[in-house]
Amino acid sequence: MDCGIFTSKSVLLFLSLVFWAAGAALAYVGAYVIKSYDNFEHFVQDKYTLIPAAIIIGVSVVMFIFGLVGCCATLRESKVGLSFFFLIIMLIFAAEVAALVFSFIYQGKIKEDLGRSMNDVFMKYDGQDAETKAVDYLQTQLQCCGIRNYTSWSNTTWFSSHNNTVPLTCCKNTTSTQCTGRLDQLDLLNTEGCEDKLVNLLQGVLGYAMLVILGFAIIKFFGMLSVCVITCQTGNRRSGYQPLYA
């Protein structure tokens, strides 16, 4: 077999395996969501919460079909199948490039957007509502206190209405009875702000996602080149079929 044909087929077969692996991963996620819903069905009464899980499973089936089409078209060198597979790869490649561009643009705007939203959420903190749970979770998970630092709480209504104290989730040990949230107990408090920590976390996640997207985009690019190579080589041969093991 011609080296170019063999390499091109190998790339396309690998790409088909990528589709299958992605489909299996999505199916697992969808099944996990449905299982989680079943475990807490007494608390979650809205049946529409299953729609995302159904969509995820549906997409996984489509991904599996795309992988099957690519595998069969590659082995049989079907022009129609390869053309369809090329179109699929090109659309996904375009979507990945768009996602990469938007991720790059948004990465520089994370700090600005977070600054506004965090100010609003922290100002609404009252110890009871959804904003309270979000702030408590953030401060506990990131081991931080306030927006820029612990002194940011002095500008909130919570601070003035609770004897100039910060929430107990600012404590290094939230189960400790010694930490009362007073600012004269700095050795018991997390003093770093949450904004910088959250920005670093989100930028790190986004950077990792960009690398993954770039890697898959490169694979798709070589996949499109492989389809072109196989199609051109097939057109130059009298027999339109050459098995991979030949």
pLDDT at 48: 54
Same-domain status, 127 and 189: yes
Does pLDDT of 20 surpass 70? Answer: yes
In whole angstroms, what is the distance from residue 98 CA to residue 94 CA?
A: 6
Q: Which residue has the higher pLDDT, 43 or 25?
A: 25
Inform me whether the pLDDT recorded for 184 exceeds 60.
yes
Assigned domain for 203 exists = no
Q: Are residues 8 and 100 in the same domain?
A: yes
In a shared domain, residues 159 and 191? yes
CB neighbour burial string for 69-91, b if at least 16 within 10 angstroms, e if fewer: bbbebbbebbeebbeebbebbee
- Cα atoms found within 13 Å of the Cα of residue 73, Cβ hemisphere only: 27
Q: For residue range 192-218, list pLDDT tens digits in order.
A: 998 888 888 877 877 777 777 777 778
Asked if 137 and 232 sit in the same domain, the reply is no
132: domain CATH number is 1.10.1450.10
For residue 209, being part of any structural domain is answered with no
Does one domain contain both 67 and 122?
Answer: no
Q: Residue 149's beta-bridge partner residues? A: 192
User: Do 100 and 138 sit in the same domain of this protein?
Assistant: no
Q: Do 104 and 225 sit in the same domain of this protein?
A: yes
pLDDT at position 170, please? 92
Range of the domain at 133: 115-195
The pLDDT tens digits for 23-40 are: 787 677 767 767 765 654
Please give the pLDDT value at position 239: 47
* Contact present, 172 and 190 (Cβ < 8 Å): yes
What is the structure's pLDDT at 145? 92
> Within this chain, do residues 174 and 52 fall inside the same structural domain, yes or no?
no
Q: Are residues 83 and 177 in the same domain?
A: no
Answer whether 194's CB lies under 8 Å from 118's CB. yes
CB 173 within 8 A of CB 89: no
Number of domains in the chain: 2
pLDDT reading at 43 higher than 50:
no
pLDDT value at 96 more than 80: no
Q: Look up the pTM and report it.
A: 0.62
**Beta-carbon count within 10 A of 190 CB:** 22
- pLDDT of 44 reads 42
The position carrying tokens 């070589």 is: 222
